[in-house]
Amino acid sequence: LRLTRETDLEEIIKLETSSYPSDEAASAEMLKFRLGEASSYFWTMWKIQGEISILVGFIVGTRVNVWSVEAMGSHEKDGEILGIHSVVVAKEYRRKGIATRAVQWYCDEVLQRDGSIKKIMLLAKAPMIKLYQRVGFQVLGLSAIEHGAEQWFDLEFSGGIEMLQIDAFSAKAFGGNPAAVVFRHGTERWMRSVANENNLAETAFLCRLGPSDFAIRWFTPTTEVELCGHATLASAYALWFTGRAVANSITFHTRTAGNLLVTKKADGWLEMDLPTSEITHLSQIPSPFQTALNGTTILGCAHGPPGLPDWLIEIPSL
């Protein structure tokens, strides 16, 4: 992602024209206007192959004070609404999650950078609504704006966070192991900031992939972790509690730990299937463990999979 340059316009115009019907595509003059007047809200996506850059897509918006058909062709420098006019990904790069990640980054970046922008608006057709909901947009209803022949919906992103704090491994409030559950992903900087402010052992961030499938990431107040059991259990409960999941099983897709399955049993208990980790036994005990255990006899030592900070130390029964 980078800001658009004037030399990019020819490719952008071709991509816009090929991506929308003729009665919906922005004209070359309109795209030039948006670049000239609102260049800081005009971003392009590129695939870099050696010294060759391939245009993958672009996002462009302008600032206005009133969301209307006139907003499509104007820019008010102090406008409190950022209207996104085009989210375009080249045909060969679609259905790869590029648009979702780009819009997510764009919205978070704009709201963090420009505190005077109160909300972000866009128009979407019915088939595209789920994509924007994954990012955090809410559907306001059918739009009064007429743009081309088809019906559009107004969507709004205000940067608010839907989040629950769940006490896992407990039958009562304020017990067990607390975790925060956020019902969307964001930029890594944003997720780190949220987790830092929560100041809990872990904050889980969810992104819907299907009716019962969710991508999950976990952050401590200072860093991202590869796996967290109690925050995953909390996430499943939060999804059922809020009605975001209906089926009795939820699959969480992780970045490095495989898929985690949580099942709601007939008796109300939640059962979680965690991945089996291969361990490697060591013939020599690392000196830091001997020091840390202050002379305690160590019967055996093993470490978990590469990349994970997991160790297994065996000592005599106390």
Query: Which regions of 36-95 does DSSP assign to beta strands (E)?
Result: 42-49, 52-64, 81-89
Q: Of the residues 162, 202, 226, 314, which is catalytic?
A: 202
CA atoms of 159 and 148, how far apart (whole Å): 29
The count of residues in the chain is 318
CA atoms of 239 and 182, how far apart (whole Å): 10
Beta strands 259-264 and 81-89: pairing type? unpaired
Provide the Cα torsion 173, 174, 178, 181; round to 10°: 50
Please name every residue paired with 178 in a beta bridge, in sequence order, or none if there are none. 167
Of 63, 55, 71, 74, which is closest to residue 9 (Cα–Cα)?
Answer: 55
Which tokens in the block code for residue 221? Answer: 């107040």
Q: How far is CA 143 from the centre of its chain?
A: 26
Does 24 participate in catalysis according to the annotation? Answer: no
What is the 8-class DSSP label of residue 9? H
CA atoms of 151 and 144, how far apart (whole Å): 9
Which tokens in the block code for residue 129? Answer: 């609504």
Which residues, at least 6 apart from 199, have a Cβ–Cβ distance to it below 8 Å?
A: 221
Q: Which residues are catalytic?
A: 202
